[in-house]
Chain A
Amino acid sequence: MEEKDWEGSSSSENEAGFPNDDDEEFHSGGSGPRLQFRVGSSKARWIAELRMAEVEVKRGKLWTTTGIIRSGKAYCFIEEALYLSEIGELQILGDKDDTVIPLKDLYEKIAEGKSGCCWENYEAYRYLKSLGYIIGRHGVPWTSKDAAAVSTPSGEEESVCASDTVTKLLGDMQICEARAVFDVYLPNSRFKKSSPGEPNFVACFSGDSPPSKEDIKFLQSRVAAPLMFCHIAQGRVSFFSFSSIDLPVLP
């Protein structure tokens, strides 16, 4: 397993000075247990039908940039839950009781591929998140201001039902191999879910091969923000932008 610098990753969450008392508990280098859940970390409950976790206990300012709000409650997708679990900020509880779901099971959920995020997507998510970028699922609003939006999370409203939204997005994208997956914002301590603004770019994945000209055009016609294509291989995350231009006629 790769080296992790707990100290480094937890300090990246400390941008606006929320409690920084976890530094003493974490050691840099390879010594010490990899999985250390801190006492008093946030808690969320995994809800199978939603394929999301409902946040029950929030600790720290990280929640200003993670998770979506529906009817006053916060929910997070598998990649958010997994990332926060990996860095020891979140404990995910089973929907039947209060036992903590281990990382192994969270990795399995990613592997199952039914929660809208595959392993490569997750690697890109984790990489950008650890650098301080703010990331949301493309096409999923951060908050729902719609009064009709649901009192029960497993309703038909597409703005809440994560799996339906994901299916709809997947359906749209069947036409082309490449998919828009994440809305990405530059690090911003004043980020507000109620008015996030336009993402700085949308992270797209085209799988095994680079995106074709047609796929790029298709995505560009659907997405207003600049597109950034991710290629992940052997743990390396790279980004490429493909831009149509028209060189000027020179004098």
Chain B
Amino acid sequence: MQLQSMAPRWKWKGAAAKALAEPISESISELQHSLTKTESLGSLSSCNVLLAVEPEQAELLDRCCFGRLVLSAETVKKWIQLSFEEAFYLLYNLKCIKINLQGPSLEKEAETWMYMRSKRSNFPVFFKAYSHLRSKNWVLRSGLQYGVDFVAYRHHPSLVHSEYSVLIRSGDSDRLRVWSDIHCTVRLSGSVAKTLLTLHVSGNSDREDLSLPACLDNYIVEEQTISGWSPELSREDETNPKPNVTTVSKARLGDGRHV
């Protein structure tokens, strides 16, 4: 019985081959070297980090789906806007940028961590989830338009549709707390052909001192998919034709829609 299993949906013929020829890990490596060489420095601004880069670097960042281009008339440098998760990943995991706050660059990663935490209380949990998938070379982008935290791609969005809509859960948060939350998020994911993936982040209690690196090391991330299932679509009987669907069951679904 097929429960759920989505194969990657490549966007054009040859996309899969291109992806194979240019693995994400290689693009990330290239990005890492390039940014390190130019000692790239980002500046914190509220909940973002602005990074000035050379045009080739902007392309590399785009290839790995880090940040958004800030359009400007300037041609010598390109400005990229990074989210906290993206910026911290470049800083802490890839060690290819530095970050400053109104002047002096923050020498210790821990200071950046504390700053980001102070701006967004969910940052530690979100970052753990983000880095968990990123370090497996999945490409992550904002999932806001799908009502989730991130969408996860197997490769660059120009080559493949995203397979998972990602929702981050932790002990103290109330996501998917009631059934209608589940119905809503699963349905939304399904309507855009994605599987809902929840990442449960656990391991640190509220009161613990959430400082690096112990904080990140103590977290555990558990992946779980949630899918709706339609009994009407799933019957398989090799010997008999499908039984008629009675109006009893159709009435129950109301408008005949499938889960």
Taking Cβ atoms with an 8 Å cutoff, the residues of A that contact B are 2-5, 8-9, 11-12, 15-16, 28, 126-128, 130-133, 186-190, 200-201, 208-210, 213, 216, 226, 228, 231, 233, 235-251
Contact = CB atoms under 8 A, between A and B. Distances in A.
B243 A242 contact: no
B221 to A, nearest CB: 10
A210 B177 CA distance: 7
Interface size class of B (residues with CB under 8 A): 35 or more
Nearest to B22: A251
Nearest to B241: A15
B23 interface: yes
B158 interface: no
A235 B248 CA distance: 11
Interface of B: 1, 3-4, 20, 23-25, 133, 136-138, 152, 154-155, 164, 176-179, 181-183, 186, 197, 200, 222-232, 234-237, 239-240, 242-249, 251-254, 259
B232 A131 contact: yes
A213 B200 contact: yes
Given A239-B259, A241-B227, A189 B240 contact: yes
A187 B136 CA distance: 40
Nearest to B230: A239
B224 A247 contact: no
Q: Pick the 8 closest A-B CB pairs, nearest first.
A: A8-B246, A251-B23, A250-B137, A132-B243, A5-B247, A239-B229, A12-B243, A187-B237
A243 to B, nearest CB: 5
Given A213-B200, A251-B20, A237 B252 contact: yes
Given A127-B231, A242-B225, A187 B240 contact: yes
A2 B228 CA distance: 25
Given A8-B246, A12-B243, A127-B249, A210 B176 contact: yes
A208 B182 CA distance: 12
Given A12-B243, A187-B243, A241-B229, A250 B138 contact: yes
A250 B24 contact: yes
Contacts of B200: 213
Where chain A touches its partner, the secondary structure class is loop
B228 A239 contact: yes
Contacts of A239: 228-231, 259
A188 B231 contact: no
A12 B154 contact: no
A244 B229 contact: no
Contact of B235 (A127, A187, A246, A251): A187
| Most central of A128, A132, A186, A200 by chain B CB within 10 Å | A132
B170 to A, nearest CB: 11
A223 to B, nearest CB: 15
Nearest to B137: A250
B243 A15 contact: yes
Contacts of B239: 188-190
A250 B231 CA distance: 33
A186 B177 contact: no
Contacts of A132: 235, 237, 242-243
Contacts of B182: 210, 231, 240
Contact of A244 (B20, B224, B254): B224
Contact of A131 (B228, B243, B254): B243
Contact of A4 (B24, B223, B244, B247): B247
A209 B178 CA distance: 5
Contacts of A228: 229
